[in-house]
Chains A and B, each alone.
Chain A
Amino acid sequence: MLLSLNANLESFEAIKQDDVTCGLVLRMSALSQAGKLGPFLFQLAHDDDLDETTKGRLAELAHDETFLLAVEDYLRRTAIVH
């Protein structure tokens, strides 16, 4: 349990440190909560600039609502606007 929590915190912090990933995850979280991820996932799937591995990871992440909520909560609680 503790290991899992640590792993998640490391993932959260890694996301926080990367502006592009951070923005993407917050966007996916908002779309997920609104039940409107469909068009976004369609765009990802048809993006020629993304490789299949990245597409797969993003799609997997997008479907993990619990993770998206948790990472959004982490980003909000640790946010420093600068």
Chain B
Amino acid sequence: MPPFPKPRFDYAYDLTHERSAMRSYRRAKPGRQIPAKAKDTLLVATWNIANLGAQDRLDSDYALIAELMSWFDLVAVQEVNDDLSGIEAIHGKLPARYDLLFSDASGNRERQAFLFDTRKVQRLKEVGRVAIPPSQLPKIATTGTTTAFAGFDRGPYLASFESGAFRFALLNVHLFYGSEAPADLDRRTLETFAVAWWADRTHRDRNSYVGDVVPLGDFNLPKAEPGDRIFDALVALGLETPPHSSQIGSAIASDSHYDQIAFFPGTTKDRFTGACNVFDFDGALFQDLWQQRTPAQFQSYVRYHLSDHRPLWAEFRTG
């Protein structure tokens, strides 16, 4: 996605006040609670931070983003620009125990990244971008698609981790969006199916370093329900997406469910505590701006300084 335009109006906020508003919202707003970090659980989140490194954010913006991220043990981040200044600024605001891992840049000069609390999460040895070999590309086909799969625009970024007794691999995805044109929808569907196909093969392969793969990130999936082509492609081979405890969408402007966390029945599902939700930080922040400006102006500020996506999180047992 190209960088959003900088809002054409002045607005200044008090970081302490906004941070406090976000914490209160998390604590008291019905349906928005995020469990506290605990010794035997793992809080995993995914967040597309719009054009991170390509938009001219303030130091206080990075502090707010880091505040929200610090509530989780492991965060998969999408839309990290080739220019690393944004993700490094967030990393710099997090406690020193958080480590950062990122891919090289791919389509739209974007990287994917992981930020994780090393007190809870240890990185294992397998890390890398996933690609489908040319000989296997013809196998990426679904009913209703008429175009051939040519590979990922941005290859999913795989990293393996361990937390307590939970050993898993996260597949950090930001799939192609394009437009609503049939060819682009085909490509989006095929990229999604390619993720499911790769996860299926890895799950069944005795040589897999970690068989329990959790694809997560921005699938550009409009609705997480059967009948949606992208959703059907994601779950075709048995991946499941846990229902959010609220029905809040992860995309601010459209309320779409672009962002997902998926896993297979078995080990990961057994460790899933059932807690999973989207945190709509935009319901807590900049309330004076919301009252003074139009909804469109408010959204333009939020998406430029924070993001047009909300983080999605899920909790797992690690004992």
Contact = CB atoms under 8 A, between A and B. Distances in A.
Interface residues of A, number: 21
Nearest to A28: B238
Nearest to A76: B270
Nearest to B204: A24
B206 A20 contact: yes
Contact of B266 (A23, A47, A82): A23
Interface string B195-239: 001001101111000011000000000000000000000011110
B204 A20 contact: yes
A61 B82 CA distance: 48
A19 B211 contact: yes
A43 to B, nearest CB: 6
Nearest to B269: A26
B317 interface: yes
B271 interface: yes
A26 B239 CA distance: 11
Given A23-B211, A81-B319, A39 B271 contact: no
Interface of A: 19-20, 22-24, 26-31, 36, 39-40, 43, 46-47, 49, 79, 81-82
26 contacts: A20-B204, A20-B205, A20-B206, A20-B211, A23-B203, A23-B211, A23-B212, A23-B265, A23-B267, A24-B203, A27-B265, A29-B265, A30-B238, A30-B240, A30-B265, A31-B238, A36-B236, A39-B237, A40-B200, A40-B236, A40-B237, A43-B197, A43-B200, A79-B270, A81-B319, A82-B165
